[in-house]
């Protein structure tokens, strides 16, 4: 179902900032423009948070170990992470979103869904105006996808990157999705592509030939999800996060990670960002527990949690091991670290008694 409650099709925009961290660093230091730049990795044992398009030409990408990136691109310029700077830019971008709608679902500092169904203008025109305001006020470029559901909008936002947009109307969805390689479906990584290719499936049209029962038997719950996604079906609403009961920092990998040890330096970077976020925006909140979240290649999710009043890397390491063991060696596509806060009312009652 794509119908909006008012009886009209939804107008969903997926905004994705272009190489956000690297673009901010280039804005701050124009001498970096035109050169291969990566953000993250304080030493060769670290990992990249992002790489600009010049660096991507050499194969550098987010979550790649620094030593590997330098082998691919020896003249790569490494810039340390400055989360405070990125959060400030993100806040300005999200303030622009707020001029158009209250229905904003942030996915990360540089990515969000917007439901603009209530506005008279076309989604395409609204996205163009949002992108123009972002560039005018921040000097940064954004790409956008526009459609009647989140799945297609997200795929479309990658269509004309960088600094472009694509609108896929409801009528165009069947033809648009059928022609896509299955790897364009969010969640279909290298291993899944190989499994599908072994079955003779290369495009979504090929995948549409398999029924729900067969997909479920082969791939479990993820198979049922695949059946819907390869047809462009998605009824998820844009859901704003109105209550901050927790704060997290997470990353989705372009290629699934199959080794727990490879997750540790990535988690270290995430904890660093989480620490800065807490100090900057949530210094008045009391931490109740620490959380590590893993999403596996089959889209099953698990979280390991332990009570504790402060960020402790050793605890996060133990929680990662706990969560990893539950996966029984399944590849990981998303890693997140976070904290849950005490309810302020609970603290008041504790202090009273």
112/285: higher pLDDT: 112
Give, in order, the Cα–Cα distances in Å from 112 to each of 101, 105, 220, 308: 12, 5, 29, 31
Q: Is the pLDDT of residue 347 over 70?
A: no
Active site residues: 111
* 308 and 251 within one domain: yes
- We report the CATH number of the domain holding residue 273 as 3.30.1490.100
DSSP state of 187: T
* 161 and 294 within one domain: no
* 192 and 157 within one domain: no
* CA 239 – CA 25 distance, rounded (Å): 31
Q: What is the pLDDT of the chain when averaged over all its residues? A: 88
* CA 104 – CA 143 distance, rounded (Å): 16
Q: What is the 3-state secondary structure (H, E, C) of 43-54?
A: CCCCEEEEECHH
* 36 and 158 within one domain: yes
- We report the CATH number of the domain holding residue 217 as 1.10.150.20
Q: Is the pLDDT of residue 241 over 50?
A: yes
Give, in order, the Cα–Cα distances in Å from 44 to each of 39, 40, 79, 274: 13, 10, 13, 22
Residues 6+ apart with CB under 8 A from 8: 117
* 306 and 193 within one domain: no
Which of 136, 168, 200 is where one domain is finished? Answer: 168
* 298 and 159 within one domain: no
* 201 and 91 within one domain: no
pLDDT tens track for 109-156: 889 999 999 999 999 999 999 999 999 999 999 999 999 999 999 999
pTM above 0.85, yes or no: no
Q: Buried b vs exposed e over 216-241: b needs ≥16 C-beta within 10 Å?
A: beebeebbebbbebbbbebeeebebe
| Residue 233: domain span | 170-239
How many independent structural domains does the chain possess? 3
* 175 and 157 within one domain: no
* 214 and 142 within one domain: no
Q: How far apart are the first and last CA of the chain?
A: 51
- We report the CATH number of the domain holding residue 140 as 3.30.70.270
Model confidence at 353, pLDDT cuts 50, 70, 90, reads very low
Model confidence at 42, pLDDT cuts 50, 70, 90, reads low
Structure tokens at 155: 């795929």
* 178 and 159 within one domain: no
Using the structure block, give the residue that is written with the tokens 């622009």: 96
Dmax of the chain from CA atoms?
67
């Amino acid at each position: 179902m794509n119908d909006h409650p008012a009886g009209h099709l939804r107008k969903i925009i997926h905004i994705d900032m272009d190489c956000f961290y690297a673009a901010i660093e280039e804005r701050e230091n124009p001498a970096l423009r035109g050169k291969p730049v990566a953000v993250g990795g304080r030493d060769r044992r670290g990992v990249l948070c992002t790489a600009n398009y010049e660096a991507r030409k050499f194969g550098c990408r987010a979550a790649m170990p620094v030593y590997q990136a330098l082998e691919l691109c020896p003249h790569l310029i490494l810039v340390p992470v400055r989360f405070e700077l990125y959060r400030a830019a993100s806040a300005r971008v999200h303030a622009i979103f707020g001029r158009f709608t209250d229905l904003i679902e942030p996915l990360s500092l540089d990515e969000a869904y917007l439901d603009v169904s209530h506005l008279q203008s076309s989604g395409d025109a609204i996205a163009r105006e949002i992108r123009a305001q972002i560039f005018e006020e921040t000097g940064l470029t954004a790409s956008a996808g526009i459609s009647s559901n989140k799945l297609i909008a997200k795929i479309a936002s990658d269509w004309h990157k960088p600094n472009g947009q694509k609108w896929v109307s409801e009528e165009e969805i069947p033809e648009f999705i059928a022609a896509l390689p299955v790897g364009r479906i969010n969640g279909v990584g290298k291993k899944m592509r190989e499994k599908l290719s072994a079955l003779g499936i290369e495009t979504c049209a090929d995948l549409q030939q398999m029924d729900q029962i067969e997909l479920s038997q082969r791939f479990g719950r993820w198979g049922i999800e695949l059946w819907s996604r390869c047809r462009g079906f998605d009824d998820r609403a844009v859901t704003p996060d109105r209550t901050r009961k927790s704060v997290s920092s997470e990353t989705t990998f372009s290629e699934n990670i199959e080794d727990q040890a490879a997750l540790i330096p990535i988690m270290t970077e995430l904890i660093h960002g989480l620490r800065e976020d807490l100090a900057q925006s949530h210094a008045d909140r009391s931490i109740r527990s620490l959380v590590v979240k893993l999403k596996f290649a089959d889209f099953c999710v698990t979280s390991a949690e332990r009570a504790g009043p402060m960020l402790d890397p050793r605890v996060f390491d133990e929680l990662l091991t706990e969560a990893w063991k539950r996966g029984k060696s399944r590849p990981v596509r998303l890693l997140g670290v976070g904290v849950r806060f005490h309810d302020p009312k609970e603290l008041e009652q504790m202090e009273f008694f």
